Structure 1
Protein backbone atom coordinates (compact mmCIF):
# COMPACT_ATOMS: atom_id res chain seq x y z
CA UNK A 1 0.00 0.00 0.00
CA UNK A 2 2.76 2.43 -0.96
CA UNK A 3 0.37 5.29 -1.74
CA UNK A 4 1.77 7.98 0.54
CA UNK A 5 -0.85 7.23 3.20
CA UNK A 6 1.13 4.74 5.26
CA UNK A 7 1.57 7.10 8.20
CA UNK A 8 -2.15 7.85 8.45
CA UNK A 9 -3.04 4.18 8.06
CA UNK A 10 -0.76 3.42 10.98
CA UNK A 11 -2.36 6.16 13.11
CA UNK A 12 -5.83 4.72 12.51
CA UNK A 13 -4.68 1.16 13.18
CA UNK A 14 -2.93 2.13 16.42
CA UNK A 15 -5.94 4.20 17.47
CA UNK A 16 -8.17 1.13 17.05
CA UNK A 17 -5.78 -0.92 19.16
CA UNK A 18 -5.75 1.70 21.91
CA UNK A 19 -9.56 1.76 21.96
CA UNK A 20 -9.71 -2.00 22.39
CA UNK A 21 -6.88 -2.06 24.93
CA UNK A 22 -8.63 0.56 27.06
CA UNK A 23 -11.99 -1.19 26.93
CA UNK A 24 -13.82 1.25 24.66
CA UNK A 25 -14.77 -1.53 22.24
CA UNK A 26 -15.28 -5.26 22.45
CA UNK A 27 -14.19 -7.87 19.91
CA UNK A 28 -14.87 -6.63 16.35
CA UNK A 29 -17.05 -3.61 17.17
CA UNK A 30 -16.14 0.04 16.58
CA UNK A 31 -14.19 1.95 13.94
CA UNK A 32 -12.19 5.10 13.16
CA UNK A 33 -12.12 7.31 10.07
CA UNK A 34 -9.80 10.10 8.94
CA UNK A 35 -10.70 12.60 6.23
CA UNK A 36 -8.30 12.70 3.28
CA UNK A 37 -10.11 15.33 1.21
CA UNK A 38 -13.64 16.29 0.25
CA UNK A 39 -14.28 12.96 -1.43
CA UNK A 40 -12.30 10.31 0.45
CA UNK A 41 -11.51 9.05 3.93
CA UNK A 42 -9.41 6.33 5.49
CA UNK A 43 -11.67 3.93 7.39
CA UNK A 44 -11.02 0.86 9.51
CA UNK A 45 -12.69 -1.83 7.38
CA UNK A 46 -13.47 -5.54 7.74
CA UNK A 47 -10.99 -7.82 6.03
CA UNK A 48 -10.67 -11.51 5.14
CA UNK A 49 -8.73 -12.25 8.36
CA UNK A 50 -10.81 -10.10 10.75
CA UNK A 51 -9.60 -10.58 14.34
CA UNK A 52 -11.05 -7.56 16.10
CA UNK A 53 -9.91 -4.02 16.81
CA UNK A 54 -7.22 -5.09 19.29
CA UNK A 55 -5.38 -6.67 16.38
CA UNK A 56 -6.03 -4.04 13.68
CA UNK A 57 -3.33 -3.85 11.01
CA UNK A 58 -2.60 -1.17 8.44
CA UNK A 59 -4.08 -3.51 5.81
CA UNK A 60 -7.45 -3.12 7.55
CA UNK A 61 -7.40 0.65 6.99
CA UNK A 62 -8.74 1.41 3.52
CA UNK A 63 -9.66 4.40 1.35
CA UNK A 64 -13.43 4.83 1.16
CA UNK A 65 -15.44 7.10 -1.13
CA UNK A 66 -17.49 9.47 1.04
CA UNK A 67 -20.33 9.62 -1.46
CA UNK A 68 -20.77 5.99 -2.49
CA UNK A 69 -19.32 4.35 0.62
CA UNK A 70 -17.28 2.01 -1.55
CA UNK A 71 -13.77 0.82 -0.70
CA UNK A 72 -11.75 2.17 -3.61
CA UNK A 73 -8.25 0.81 -2.96
CA UNK A 74 -9.13 -2.88 -2.82
CA UNK A 75 -9.08 -4.30 -6.36
CA UNK A 76 -9.44 -7.85 -5.05
CA UNK A 77 -12.65 -6.96 -3.25
CA UNK A 78 -11.53 -8.45 0.06
CA UNK A 79 -12.44 -5.55 2.35
CA UNK A 80 -15.83 -4.13 3.30
CA UNK A 81 -16.61 -0.84 4.97
CA UNK A 82 -18.36 -1.13 8.36
CA UNK A 83 -22.14 -1.29 8.24
CA UNK A 84 -22.29 1.97 10.20
CA UNK A 85 -20.12 3.83 7.72
CA UNK A 86 -22.83 6.57 7.50
CA UNK A 87 -21.74 7.66 10.99
CA UNK A 88 -18.40 8.67 9.52
CA UNK A 89 -19.45 9.95 6.13
CA UNK A 90 -22.25 12.10 7.57
CA UNK A 91 -20.09 13.71 10.25
CA UNK A 92 -17.16 14.32 7.91
CA UNK A 93 -19.46 15.98 5.39
CA UNK A 94 -21.41 18.05 7.93
CA UNK A 95 -18.47 19.05 10.12
CA UNK A 96 -15.52 20.48 8.16
CA UNK A 97 -13.79 21.09 11.51
CA UNK A 98 -13.63 17.33 12.13
CA UNK A 99 -10.74 15.43 10.56
CA UNK A 100 -11.23 12.23 12.55
CA UNK A 101 -14.39 10.42 13.70
CA UNK A 102 -14.44 7.65 16.30
CA UNK A 103 -17.30 5.28 16.99
CA UNK A 104 -16.95 3.08 20.07
CA UNK A 105 -19.11 1.13 22.55
CA UNK A 106 -17.80 1.91 26.07
CA UNK A 107 -19.93 -0.26 28.41
CA UNK A 108 -20.03 2.31 31.23
CA UNK A 109 -21.26 5.01 28.86
CA UNK A 110 -23.95 2.66 27.57
CA UNK A 111 -25.08 1.90 31.14
CA UNK A 112 -25.11 5.59 32.06
CA UNK A 113 -27.18 6.41 28.99
CA UNK A 114 -29.69 3.69 29.79
CA UNK A 115 -29.91 4.96 33.37
CA UNK A 116 -30.86 8.31 31.89
CA UNK A 117 -28.39 10.64 33.57
CA UNK A 118 -26.23 13.26 31.88
CA UNK A 119 -22.44 13.17 32.03
CA UNK A 120 -21.92 16.36 34.01
CA UNK A 121 -18.58 17.82 35.22
CA UNK A 122 -18.72 16.23 38.69
CA UNK A 123 -14.95 16.25 39.25
CA UNK A 124 -12.23 18.80 38.63
CA UNK A 125 -8.47 18.26 38.58
CA UNK A 126 -8.92 14.48 38.49
CA UNK A 127 -9.29 14.74 34.69
CA UNK A 128 -9.35 18.34 33.48
CA UNK A 129 -9.98 17.62 29.76
CA UNK A 130 -12.92 15.37 30.68
CA UNK A 131 -14.28 18.08 32.96
CA UNK A 132 -14.10 20.69 30.21
CA UNK A 133 -15.72 18.27 27.76
CA UNK A 134 -18.61 17.70 30.16
CA UNK A 135 -18.93 21.41 30.97
CA UNK A 136 -19.33 22.17 27.26
CA UNK A 137 -22.29 19.81 27.20
CA UNK A 138 -22.45 16.26 25.90
CA UNK A 139 -25.62 15.67 23.87
CA UNK A 140 -27.42 12.32 23.83
CA UNK A 141 -28.89 10.75 20.71
CA UNK A 142 -32.12 9.04 21.84
CA UNK A 143 -32.05 6.06 19.45
CA UNK A 144 -30.23 2.73 19.93
CA UNK A 145 -30.43 1.55 16.32
CA UNK A 146 -27.54 0.65 14.05
CA UNK A 147 -26.88 3.76 12.00
CA UNK A 148 -26.75 2.16 8.59
CA UNK A 149 -28.57 4.71 6.41
CA UNK A 150 -28.14 8.34 5.46
CA UNK A 151 -31.49 9.12 7.06
CA UNK A 152 -30.52 7.68 10.44
CA UNK A 153 -27.10 9.34 10.18
CA UNK A 154 -28.73 12.72 9.51
CA UNK A 155 -30.69 12.38 12.76
CA UNK A 156 -27.48 11.53 14.59
CA UNK A 157 -25.66 14.53 13.11
CA UNK A 158 -28.51 16.75 14.24
CA UNK A 159 -28.08 15.41 17.77
CA UNK A 160 -24.31 15.99 17.62
CA UNK A 161 -24.66 19.57 16.42
CA UNK A 162 -21.42 21.45 17.02
CA UNK A 163 -20.38 19.29 20.00
CA UNK A 164 -17.14 17.32 20.07
CA UNK A 165 -18.74 14.18 21.50
CA UNK A 166 -22.12 12.46 21.38
CA UNK A 167 -23.59 9.66 23.48
CA UNK A 168 -25.76 7.20 21.53
CA UNK A 169 -28.30 5.94 24.06
CA UNK A 170 -27.98 2.20 24.56
CA UNK A 171 -25.40 2.03 21.82
CA UNK A 172 -22.10 3.86 22.32
CA UNK A 173 -20.36 7.12 21.46
CA UNK A 174 -19.26 9.25 18.53
CA UNK A 175 -16.36 11.64 19.01
CA UNK A 176 -14.58 14.03 16.67
CA UNK A 177 -11.09 15.45 16.56
CA UNK A 178 -8.46 17.13 14.47
CA UNK A 179 -6.55 13.84 14.47
CA UNK A 180 -6.82 10.26 15.71
CA UNK A 181 -5.28 10.98 19.10
CA UNK A 182 -7.72 13.79 19.91
CA UNK A 183 -10.81 11.83 18.88
CA UNK A 184 -9.77 8.68 20.78
CA UNK A 185 -8.80 10.66 23.87
CA UNK A 186 -12.24 12.28 23.87
CA UNK A 187 -13.83 8.83 23.79
CA UNK A 188 -11.66 7.89 26.77
CA UNK A 189 -12.79 11.05 28.56
CA UNK A 190 -16.43 10.07 28.07
CA UNK A 191 -15.61 6.66 29.50
CA UNK A 192 -13.98 8.25 32.55
CA UNK A 193 -16.96 10.52 33.14
CA UNK A 194 -19.40 7.62 32.95
CA UNK A 195 -17.29 5.37 35.17
CA UNK A 196 -16.99 7.98 37.93
CA UNK A 197 -20.68 8.81 37.70
CA UNK A 198 -21.57 5.14 38.12
CA UNK A 199 -19.20 4.67 41.06
CA UNK A 200 -20.58 7.68 42.90
CA UNK A 201 -24.11 6.43 42.40
CA UNK A 202 -23.14 2.91 43.49
CA UNK A 203 -21.89 4.50 46.72
CA UNK A 204 -25.41 5.75 47.32
CA UNK A 205 -24.92 9.41 46.41
CA UNK A 206 -26.29 11.44 43.52
CA UNK A 207 -23.33 13.27 41.93
CA UNK A 208 -23.52 17.02 41.42
CA UNK A 209 -21.65 19.28 39.04
CA UNK A 210 -18.74 21.11 40.62
CA UNK A 211 -19.26 24.81 41.42
CA UNK A 212 -18.69 27.25 38.57
CA UNK A 213 -15.92 28.91 40.58
CA UNK A 214 -14.02 25.61 40.76
CA UNK A 215 -14.56 25.04 37.07
CA UNK A 216 -13.17 28.49 36.28
CA UNK A 217 -9.99 27.65 38.21
CA UNK A 218 -9.19 24.60 36.11
CA UNK A 219 -6.36 25.50 33.72
CA UNK A 220 -5.90 24.40 30.16
CA UNK A 221 -2.62 22.52 30.45
CA UNK A 222 -2.10 22.69 26.69
CA UNK A 223 -1.95 20.21 23.87
CA UNK A 224 1.62 19.17 24.61
CA UNK A 225 0.46 17.73 27.93
CA UNK A 226 -3.19 16.82 27.36
CA UNK A 227 -2.65 15.29 23.92
CA UNK A 228 0.95 14.54 22.97
CA UNK A 229 2.16 13.35 26.38
CA UNK A 230 -1.02 11.47 27.21
CA UNK A 231 -1.11 9.81 23.79
CA UNK A 232 2.54 8.72 24.18
CA UNK A 233 1.51 7.09 27.45
CA UNK A 234 -1.21 5.07 25.78
CA UNK A 235 1.11 4.03 22.96
CA UNK A 236 3.85 3.03 25.41
CA UNK A 237 1.37 0.93 27.42
CA UNK A 238 0.28 -0.76 24.20
CA UNK A 239 3.90 -1.54 23.27
CA UNK A 240 4.72 -2.81 26.77
CA UNK A 241 1.93 -5.38 26.54
CA UNK A 242 3.03 -6.52 23.09
CA UNK A 243 0.10 -4.97 21.21
CA UNK A 244 1.97 -2.30 19.27
CA UNK A 245 2.32 -2.42 15.50
CA UNK A 246 5.59 -3.94 14.32
Structure 2
Protein backbone atom coordinates (compact mmCIF):
# COMPACT_ATOMS: atom_id res chain seq x y z
CA UNK A 1 0.00 0.00 0.00
CA UNK A 2 1.39 3.40 -0.99
CA UNK A 3 1.75 6.29 1.46
CA UNK A 4 -1.07 8.16 -0.29
CA UNK A 5 -3.37 5.16 -0.02
CA UNK A 6 -2.50 4.73 3.66
CA UNK A 7 -3.15 8.43 4.35
CA UNK A 8 -6.53 8.21 2.63
CA UNK A 9 -7.36 5.10 4.65
CA UNK A 10 -6.35 6.78 7.90
CA UNK A 11 -8.50 9.84 7.09
CA UNK A 12 -11.50 7.63 6.39
CA UNK A 13 -10.92 5.73 9.62
CA UNK A 14 -10.86 8.97 11.62
CA UNK A 15 -14.05 10.19 9.94
CA UNK A 16 -15.90 6.95 10.62
CA UNK A 17 -14.68 6.88 14.22
CA UNK A 18 -15.91 10.43 14.84
CA UNK A 19 -19.35 9.55 13.49
CA UNK A 20 -19.55 6.39 15.62
CA UNK A 21 -18.54 8.29 18.76
CA UNK A 22 -21.39 10.72 18.12
CA UNK A 23 -24.19 8.51 16.85
CA UNK A 24 -23.95 4.97 18.25
CA UNK A 25 -26.34 3.98 21.05
CA UNK A 26 -24.45 2.72 24.12
CA UNK A 27 -27.08 2.48 26.88
CA UNK A 28 -27.41 4.10 30.32
CA UNK A 29 -27.37 1.15 32.74
CA UNK A 30 -25.62 1.27 36.12
CA UNK A 31 -22.80 -1.15 37.01
CA UNK A 32 -25.05 -3.62 38.82
CA UNK A 33 -27.45 -3.73 35.89
CA UNK A 34 -24.58 -4.14 33.45
CA UNK A 35 -23.09 -6.99 35.47
CA UNK A 36 -26.46 -8.75 35.51
CA UNK A 37 -26.82 -8.16 31.76
CA UNK A 38 -23.35 -9.65 31.15
CA UNK A 39 -24.29 -12.78 33.07
CA UNK A 40 -27.54 -13.22 31.17
CA UNK A 41 -25.96 -12.60 27.75
CA UNK A 42 -23.19 -15.09 28.48
CA UNK A 43 -25.69 -17.67 29.70
CA UNK A 44 -27.53 -17.29 26.39
CA UNK A 45 -24.21 -17.80 24.57
CA UNK A 46 -23.58 -21.09 26.42
CA UNK A 47 -21.00 -19.84 28.92
CA UNK A 48 -22.78 -20.95 32.09
CA UNK A 49 -23.91 -24.56 32.02
CA UNK A 50 -22.56 -25.21 35.55
CA UNK A 51 -21.40 -23.15 38.53
CA UNK A 52 -18.03 -22.54 36.84
CA UNK A 53 -17.25 -18.98 35.79
CA UNK A 54 -17.19 -15.57 37.42
CA UNK A 55 -17.56 -11.91 36.56
CA UNK A 56 -16.00 -9.27 38.81
CA UNK A 57 -16.05 -5.48 38.50
CA UNK A 58 -13.62 -3.27 40.42
CA UNK A 59 -15.22 -0.27 42.13
CA UNK A 60 -13.56 3.13 42.77
CA UNK A 61 -13.34 2.38 46.52
CA UNK A 62 -11.37 -0.84 45.96
CA UNK A 63 -14.30 -3.20 46.47
CA UNK A 64 -15.71 -5.52 43.80
CA UNK A 65 -19.12 -6.34 42.41
CA UNK A 66 -19.78 -9.99 41.55
CA UNK A 67 -22.42 -12.68 41.85
CA UNK A 68 -22.93 -15.08 44.71
CA UNK A 69 -21.76 -18.68 44.45
CA UNK A 70 -24.51 -21.04 43.22
CA UNK A 71 -26.49 -18.27 41.51
CA UNK A 72 -26.48 -19.24 37.84
CA UNK A 73 -25.66 -16.64 35.21
CA UNK A 74 -29.17 -17.18 33.82
CA UNK A 75 -30.66 -16.25 37.23
CA UNK A 76 -28.74 -13.06 38.00
CA UNK A 77 -30.64 -9.80 38.43
CA UNK A 78 -29.49 -6.39 39.60
CA UNK A 79 -30.75 -7.06 43.13
CA UNK A 80 -28.70 -10.20 43.74
CA UNK A 81 -25.35 -8.71 42.76
CA UNK A 82 -23.07 -8.75 45.81
CA UNK A 83 -20.17 -6.50 46.82
CA UNK A 84 -16.98 -7.93 48.32
CA UNK A 85 -13.72 -6.55 49.65
CA UNK A 86 -10.21 -7.61 48.64
CA UNK A 87 -10.31 -10.52 51.11
CA UNK A 88 -13.50 -11.84 49.44
CA UNK A 89 -15.62 -10.92 52.47
CA UNK A 90 -19.19 -10.03 51.49
CA UNK A 91 -19.95 -6.48 52.58
CA UNK A 92 -23.21 -6.01 50.72
CA UNK A 93 -25.75 -8.59 49.61
CA UNK A 94 -26.48 -12.22 50.49
CA UNK A 95 -24.50 -15.40 49.94
CA UNK A 96 -20.77 -16.03 49.51
CA UNK A 97 -18.28 -15.19 46.79
CA UNK A 98 -17.08 -17.91 44.46
CA UNK A 99 -13.74 -19.14 45.92
CA UNK A 100 -12.20 -19.04 42.43
CA UNK A 101 -12.40 -15.24 42.49
CA UNK A 102 -9.14 -15.39 44.43
CA UNK A 103 -7.19 -15.53 41.16
CA UNK A 104 -9.05 -12.43 39.90
CA UNK A 105 -7.58 -10.53 42.85
CA UNK A 106 -4.06 -11.40 41.74
CA UNK A 107 -4.77 -9.89 38.33
CA UNK A 108 -6.27 -6.74 39.82
CA UNK A 109 -3.18 -6.27 42.00
CA UNK A 110 -0.80 -6.66 39.04
CA UNK A 111 -2.92 -4.68 36.58
CA UNK A 112 -4.24 -1.32 37.82
CA UNK A 113 -5.67 -0.78 34.30
CA UNK A 114 -8.07 -3.73 34.71
CA UNK A 115 -11.55 -2.93 36.00
CA UNK A 116 -13.51 -6.02 34.93
CA UNK A 117 -12.67 -9.71 34.61
CA UNK A 118 -14.84 -12.31 32.91
CA UNK A 119 -13.85 -15.96 33.29
CA UNK A 120 -15.97 -18.81 31.90
CA UNK A 121 -15.77 -22.33 30.47
CA UNK A 122 -17.81 -22.18 27.24
CA UNK A 123 -17.93 -25.33 25.06
CA UNK A 124 -15.80 -24.32 22.07
CA UNK A 125 -13.16 -22.62 24.20
CA UNK A 126 -13.15 -25.75 26.38
CA UNK A 127 -12.62 -27.93 23.32
CA UNK A 128 -9.85 -25.72 21.97
CA UNK A 129 -8.17 -25.60 25.39
CA UNK A 130 -7.96 -29.41 25.31
CA UNK A 131 -5.91 -29.44 22.10
CA UNK A 132 -2.85 -27.64 23.48
CA UNK A 133 -2.95 -25.00 20.76
CA UNK A 134 -3.42 -21.22 21.09
CA UNK A 135 -6.13 -19.14 19.46
CA UNK A 136 -5.42 -18.45 15.77
CA UNK A 137 -6.17 -15.07 14.19
CA UNK A 138 -7.34 -16.34 10.82
CA UNK A 139 -10.61 -14.42 10.39
CA UNK A 140 -11.61 -10.78 10.73
CA UNK A 141 -13.85 -11.61 13.69
CA UNK A 142 -10.83 -12.97 15.58
CA UNK A 143 -8.64 -9.91 15.03
CA UNK A 144 -9.52 -8.31 18.40
CA UNK A 145 -7.26 -11.04 19.80
CA UNK A 146 -4.28 -10.30 17.55
CA UNK A 147 -1.19 -10.10 19.78
CA UNK A 148 -3.64 -9.67 22.66
CA UNK A 149 -4.45 -13.23 23.76
CA UNK A 150 -1.94 -14.99 25.99
CA UNK A 151 -1.74 -18.77 26.27
CA UNK A 152 -1.15 -20.76 29.46
CA UNK A 153 0.01 -24.16 28.21
CA UNK A 154 -0.45 -26.20 31.39
CA UNK A 155 -3.33 -26.25 33.84
CA UNK A 156 -2.06 -25.30 37.32
CA UNK A 157 -5.03 -26.87 39.10
CA UNK A 158 -8.20 -25.49 40.65
CA UNK A 159 -7.84 -21.69 40.81
CA UNK A 160 -8.71 -21.33 44.48
CA UNK A 161 -5.22 -20.82 45.92
CA UNK A 162 -2.62 -18.10 45.67
CA UNK A 163 -0.24 -20.17 43.53
CA UNK A 164 -2.82 -20.49 40.73
CA UNK A 165 -3.50 -16.77 40.90
CA UNK A 166 0.18 -15.99 40.63
CA UNK A 167 0.62 -18.32 37.63
CA UNK A 168 -2.43 -17.09 35.72
CA UNK A 169 -1.78 -13.40 36.33
CA UNK A 170 1.86 -13.78 35.26
CA UNK A 171 0.87 -15.64 32.09
CA UNK A 172 -1.70 -12.97 31.22
CA UNK A 173 0.94 -10.25 31.42
CA UNK A 174 -0.28 -7.04 29.78
CA UNK A 175 -2.74 -8.66 27.37
CA UNK A 176 -6.51 -8.37 27.46
CA UNK A 177 -7.31 -12.09 27.22
CA UNK A 178 -5.82 -15.49 27.86
CA UNK A 179 -6.65 -19.03 26.75
CA UNK A 180 -6.12 -21.39 29.68
CA UNK A 181 -5.12 -24.91 28.62
CA UNK A 182 -7.47 -27.61 29.92
CA UNK A 183 -9.55 -24.93 31.59
CA UNK A 184 -11.21 -22.02 29.75
CA UNK A 185 -10.43 -18.36 29.17
CA UNK A 186 -10.57 -14.98 30.81
CA UNK A 187 -10.86 -11.39 29.65
CA UNK A 188 -9.33 -8.66 31.81
CA UNK A 189 -9.92 -5.14 30.51
CA UNK A 190 -10.60 -1.58 31.52
CA UNK A 191 -14.39 -1.85 31.33
CA UNK A 192 -17.23 -4.24 31.90
CA UNK A 193 -18.41 -3.69 28.34
CA UNK A 194 -15.06 -4.63 26.82
CA UNK A 195 -14.59 -7.79 28.89
CA UNK A 196 -18.11 -8.94 27.98
CA UNK A 197 -17.59 -8.12 24.28
CA UNK A 198 -14.37 -10.14 24.17
CA UNK A 199 -15.99 -13.01 26.04
CA UNK A 200 -18.63 -13.32 23.33
CA UNK A 201 -16.09 -12.96 20.52
CA UNK A 202 -13.55 -15.46 21.84
CA UNK A 203 -16.05 -18.32 22.07
CA UNK A 204 -17.13 -17.66 18.49
CA UNK A 205 -13.50 -17.47 17.37
CA UNK A 206 -12.79 -20.83 19.00
CA UNK A 207 -15.82 -22.33 17.29
CA UNK A 208 -14.67 -21.06 13.89
CA UNK A 209 -11.13 -22.32 14.49
CA UNK A 210 -12.29 -25.83 15.33
CA UNK A 211 -14.61 -25.96 12.32
CA UNK A 212 -11.88 -24.64 10.01
CA UNK A 213 -9.35 -27.14 11.30
CA UNK A 214 -11.71 -29.99 10.40
CA UNK A 215 -11.96 -28.62 6.84
CA UNK A 216 -8.29 -28.02 6.12
CA UNK A 217 -5.24 -25.93 6.91
CA UNK A 218 -5.81 -22.68 8.78
CA UNK A 219 -4.37 -19.61 7.05
CA UNK A 220 -3.51 -16.76 9.42
CA UNK A 221 -4.22 -13.14 8.55
CA UNK A 222 -1.30 -10.87 7.65
CA UNK A 223 0.01 -9.21 10.83
CA UNK A 224 -0.32 -5.63 9.63
CA UNK A 225 -3.92 -6.10 8.55
CA UNK A 226 -4.74 -8.00 11.72
CA UNK A 227 -3.32 -5.14 13.82
CA UNK A 228 -5.35 -2.55 11.92
CA UNK A 229 -8.54 -4.56 12.42
CA UNK A 230 -7.71 -5.20 16.10
CA UNK A 231 -7.40 -1.49 16.78
CA UNK A 232 -10.56 -0.59 14.87
CA UNK A 233 -12.78 -3.27 16.43
CA UNK A 234 -11.64 -2.39 19.96
CA UNK A 235 -12.55 1.28 19.70
CA UNK A 236 -14.72 2.25 22.70
CA UNK A 237 -17.68 3.23 20.50
CA UNK A 238 -17.77 -0.20 18.82
CA UNK A 239 -17.24 -2.04 22.10
CA UNK A 240 -20.01 -0.12 23.89
CA UNK A 241 -22.43 -0.29 20.97
CA UNK A 242 -21.87 -4.05 20.70
CA UNK A 243 -22.50 -4.44 24.42
CA UNK A 244 -25.68 -2.39 24.10
CA UNK A 245 -26.87 -4.64 21.27
CA UNK A 246 -26.30 -7.77 23.37
CA UNK A 247 -27.98 -6.06 26.36
CA UNK A 248 -31.10 -5.08 24.42
CA UNK A 249 -31.53 -8.67 23.29
CA UNK A 250 -31.37 -9.81 26.92
CA UNK A 251 -33.87 -7.17 28.06
CA UNK A 252 -36.37 -8.13 25.37
CA UNK A 253 -36.22 -11.76 26.49
CA UNK A 254 -35.76 -11.24 30.25
CA UNK A 255 -36.79 -7.74 31.41
CA UNK A 256 -36.59 -8.77 35.08
CA UNK A 257 -32.78 -8.69 34.81
CA UNK A 258 -32.73 -4.94 35.50
CA UNK A 259 -34.49 -5.15 38.87
TM-score category (smaller protein): 0.7 to 0.9
Distance between the aligned counterparts of 1:103 and 1:220, measured in 2? Answer: 24
Q: Work out the number of aligned pairs and report it.
A: 228
Q: 1:227 — aligned with what?
A: 239
* CA distance, structure 2, for counterparts of residue 210 and residue 162 of structure 1: 22
Counterpart residue number, 1:192 = 204
CA distance in 2, matches of 1:206, 1:61: 45
List gaps (5 residues or longer) in structure 1. 1-5
Matches within 5 A, 1:51-200: 51-66=71-86, 68-74=87-93, 78-124=94-140, 127=141, 130-143=142-155, 145-200=157-212
Matched residues in 2 for 1:163 and 1:33: separation?
18
Looking at structure 1, the residues matched to 133 and 36 of structure 2 have their Cα atoms a distance apart, in angstroms, of 33
Tell me which residue corresponds to 1:25. Answer: 48
Whole-angstrom distance in 2 between the partners of 1:146 and 1:60: 26
**Alpha-carbon distance in 2 for matches of 1:214, 1:220:** 11
- The alignment's TM-score, normalised by the length of structure 2, stands at 0.80
Give the Cα–Cα distance (whole angstroms) in 2 for the partners of residues 215 and 28 of structure 1: 35
Cα drift, residue 116 of structure 1: 1.7
- Partner-residue secondary structure (3-state), 1:118: coil
Kept in 2, the 8 Å contact 1:12–1:32? The answer is: yes
- Mean alpha-carbon deviation: is it higher for 35-44 or for 148-157? 35-44
Does the aligned pair in 1 maintain the 2:177–2:188 contact within 8 Å? yes
Aligned residue for 2:20? none
Structure of higher CA gyration radius:
2
Structure 2 residue runs without a partner (length 5+): 1-28
For normalisation by structure 1, the TM-score amounts to 0.84
Question: Structure 1 residue runs of 4+, over 6 Å off?
Answer: none
Q: Deviations over 1:36-88 (max 9, x none)?
A: 14631112123xxx55111102233211111x2211124xxx41000201122
Whose helix fraction is larger, Structure 1's or Structure 2's? 2
Deviations 1:92-123 (A, max 9, x none): 11110000111111111111121122212101
